[in-house]
Structure 1
Amino acid sequence: MSHSQHPVALRLEQRVGGAARLLATVMALPLVDGIFPAMVLAGTLSDPAGILEVGLLVFGGSATVAVILAEMSGSRRERVETTLAVGVVVLVLAGVEAALAPTIESLLDLAVFERFAALVILAIAAKTASARVGEYLPRPAVIVGLGMVASLDPANAQLVLVPDPTLVLRGLAAAGTGVAFALAVAVTSPWLHDAVDIDRFRFGSAVALGVLGLSVLGLVPDDAPLALAVLGVTTLLAFDPGEIDEEPDGTTTEETAASATADEETDIGPDRAPWL
């Protein structure tokens, strides 16, 4: 069920040149676009639940799952090695950005910036749910940039030469959670390839991201990890292990699913629901 390539993924893969670079682009995008620093400054890593939410939804979201299952080829070992190599880079960059967070924090009015951080999360959720909706929304980097301009408070600016070790560890833990999730997907990819409905997982991930954004805004209680609960339900609904069982006529449902996917692509074409 998960082996159909989405047009958005194909365009991005052509632009970056290969599935390995595509995975690096997807997992490092929160670091490049400023999404991860925004979440660090918004206080979303203040507890274990927040660390898990950021790790699973931002670094290990539906786009990461789709790249590993639908875009990457080769053996299980090759997928694991590629994912691990990308994960090391992500961990290093996440640690550096978490170390710089106190310096950035001294430049901003966090009460204002947190609202923009929540808007970033909601925008990503909308883009994940629908590419058509995403066409009308600004890029996350633009929202982060506007947030920094609106909340700029240079009067209290100071260069923090000694990073906050607790904050760095939390940042590494969040990135490590995403990398561990990606590695788990790579290890089990031969089975998950035909047991996961990526479109269903993508939409559920978008809902979970939306809940996380609303919690940052204070519109939903943050004392319960609702985003994790939504993600858990999404994972269960996206699984259909029966798809890889053998059919009565001797063919496997893997072959049946491949045939059905080809029919769907013929009937539906490039308007399939996006995952990026």
Structure 2
Amino acid sequence: MSASRHPIALRLERQVGEGTRLLATVMALPLIDGIFTALIVAGAVSDLLGMVEVGLLIFGGSATLAVVLAEMEGSRRDRVKNVLLVGALVVPLAAVQATIAPTIASVLDMVIFERFAALVILAIAAKTASATVGEYLPRPSVIIGLGLVASFRPTAFEFGFVADPMFVVYGTGAAVVGVSFALAVAGLGPWLRGNVDIDRFRFGSAVALGVLPLTILEVGPITGEEPLALIVLAITGLFAFNPEGAMDAPSEDADAAAATDGGEPDDPFEEDVEDAVERVDDEESTAPGSPEGDRAPWL
């Protein structure tokens, strides 16, 4: 991955490839692992605030940002079209899972299951922040499976279908929010590449994910109605804003101009000579006997 070393996106990239296929895998992973269903069952998507939080952090978030900016090729129109194709897959699947979630919740002890739902979000946050830490943590699907076993109530089991229209509305809306986030990133891609530090946004998103379980469990004075995760995510966006990066990120217009430029390319022999001279000067200036030889490498 050229623009970011996102641990989750890198692992998926090795398995499914790049581009649109990778984006589809990243955005559908919460549906495949059962994370989205677990959050609905735990009540994290029971209102408008929860819909936005889950949409931005679970379906959107740093992994989606990194994939759209670093791996999706083509023009802005092509990227938007590919994101819409992914959305056409993710949104209906989210609606189906939101429909069956109340049936699953009817046979579970929610006090126990909510703790496992919070634990799986913390695990995802740790995996997002550090690939090394993520290697020692179980897969989210394993944690959810253990939660289902631990919270299952055999005495309450009754074969029947339970549906809640609001679960379907908010669950589908969360997927729409995530797809809208990806569309915004695809449309603003050239500007975001030069003005947003992707890895800084990744760490901030991990912190926002770590805050989300507090609202699920309603720890201490937290009632679950406070938009703590959204506040952390907004602060993350501010800290990740890096206008100076625009000098290092070429725009699409600049690339097009370079492709159509009829000028002669620079002489590679001259570049090699200049690099050799600069390397010799650097070695002399950092020699043990030189004034700068004892300086720390990061200076």
Which category of TM-score, normalised to the shorter sequence, fits these structures?
Answer: 0.7 to 0.9
What letter corresponds to residue 235 of structure 1 in structure 2?
G
Question: In 2, distance between residues paired with 1:215 and 1:206?
Answer: 15
Verify the 8 A CA contact 2:215 2:225 in the aligned structure 1. Answer: no
Partner of 1:41: 41
Give the deviation of 1:54 after TM superposition.
0.4
Q: After TM superposition, list the pairs within 5 Å mapping 1:79-90 onto structure 2.
A: 79-90=79-90
Match of 2:145 in 1: 145
Alignment of 1:127-276 (within 5 A): 127-161=127-161, 163-219=163-219, 221=222, 222-244=224-246, 252-254=247-249
TM-score, normalised to structure 1, is: 0.85
Seq. identity, %:
61
Match of 1:111 in 2: 111
Judge conservation of contact 1:42–1:114 (CA < 8 Å) in 2: yes
Shift of 1:237: 0.9
The equivalent of 1:4 in structure 2 is 3
Q: Which residue identity does 1:194 align to in structure 2?
A: G
Q: Which structure's relative contact order is higher, taking Cα pairs within 8 Å and 6+ residues apart?
A: 1
TM-score under structure 2 normalisation?
0.78
Contact 1:3/1:193 (<8 A) preserved? no
Distance 1:103 1:127, change over 3 A: same
2:60, 2:178 within 8 Å by CA — same for their partners in 1?
yes
Distance (whole Å) between structure 2 residues aligned to residue 72 and residue 125 of structure 1: 24
After the TM superposition, which of the residue ranges 50-59 and 159-168 deviates more from structure 2?
159-168
* SS at structure 2 position matched to 1:137: coil
The match for 1:52 is 52
Q: Determine which structure has more spread, i.e. the larger CA radius of gyration.
A: 2
The answer on whether the counterparts of 2:4 and 2:198 sit within 8 Å (CA) in structure 1 is no
CA distance in 1, matches of 2:121, 2:198: 20
**Aligned alpha-carbon RMSD (Å):** 1.9
Write out per-residue CA displacement over residues 16-49 of structure 1, whole angstroms, 9 at most, x where no aligned residue.
1331111011000000101000000110112221
Aligned residues: 248
Alpha-carbon distance in 2 for matches of 1:45, 1:125 = 18
Residue identity opposite 1:231 in structure 2: L
Q: After TM superposition, which residue ranges in structure 1, 4 or more long, deviate above 6 angstroms?
A: none
Measure the CA separation in 2 of the matches of 1:225 and 1:12. Answer: 30
Q: Which residue of 2 aligns with 1:13?
A: 13
CA contact (8 A) 2:100 2:162 kept: no
Tell me by how many angstroms 1:196 deviates.
1.0
Deviations along 1:209-237, one digit per CA (max 9) or x if unpaired, are 00001221222512311110000000111
Q: What letter matches 1:254 in structure 2?
A: A
What amino acid is aligned across from residue 204 of structure 1 in structure 2?
A: G
Conserved in 1, the CA contact under 8 Å of 2:3 and 2:69?
no
Q: Which residue of 2 aligns with 1:259?
A: none
C-alpha contact (below 8 Å) 2:42/2:110 kept by paired residues: yes
Gaps of 5+ in 2: 251-299
Partner-residue secondary structure (3-state), 1:6? coil
Moved more, 29-38 or 162-171: 162-171
- CA contact under 8 A between 1:65 and 1:182: conserved in structure 2? yes
Structure 1 stretch displaced more, 4-13 or 98-107 = 4-13
Q: CA deviation at 1:11?
A: 4.8
Where 1:121 maps in the other structure, the secondary structure is: helix
Cα distance change, pair 3–236 in 1 and its aligned pair in 2 (3 A): farther
Paired AA for residue 118 in structure 2: A
Aligned partners of 2:249, 2:161: CA distance in 1, in Å? Answer: 55
Indicate the larger mover: 3-12 or 147-156.
3-12
Deviation at 1:134, TM superposition (A): 0.8
**CA deviation after TM superposition for structure 1 residue 77, in Å:** 0.8
1:131-162 deviations in Å (ceiling 9; x for gaps): 11111111100000000000111322234446
Decide whether aligned partners of structure 1 residues 14 and 42 sit closer, same or farther in structure 2, where only a CA change above 3 A counts. same
1:122 and 1:210 in contact (8 A); partners too: yes
